Amino acid sequence: MEILNFNLNGPAILMSFSKDEYTGFLMDDGRLETYMNDSLMWTSYSVFESSVEDEFVNTVNLISGELYE
């Protein structure tokens, strides 16, 4: 987990996460965007910093099918 503060003419990235080929970015507006390579795969809304890591792991497990194994 990294703590970042990017602002590229939009919401700032507060944190980033990675698991396997997935990367997640917590934005300062409460969105958690999950990417595979450069493609946006999922967006979670109203995510709090206290639960963002669990939300990211659960999202990756859902997208990759690990949740159902």
Query: Taking all residues of the chain, what is their mean pLDDT, rounded to a whole number?
Result: 86
- pLDDT(2) > 60: no
CA pair distance 1, 52, nearest whole angstrom: 11
CA pair distance 65, 21, nearest whole angstrom: 14
User: What's the confidence (pLDDT) of residue 26?
Assistant: 95
Helix (H, G, I), strand (E, B) or coil at 54: helix
- pLDDT(45) > 90: yes
Q: What is the pLDDT of residues 22-42, one digit of tens each?
A: 999 999 899 999 999 999 999
User: What's the confidence (pLDDT) of residue 6?
Assistant: 53
Phi, psi of 38 (to 5 degrees): -105, 10
| Domain map (residue ranges) of the chain | 2-68
What mean pLDDT comes out for the span 49-66? 91
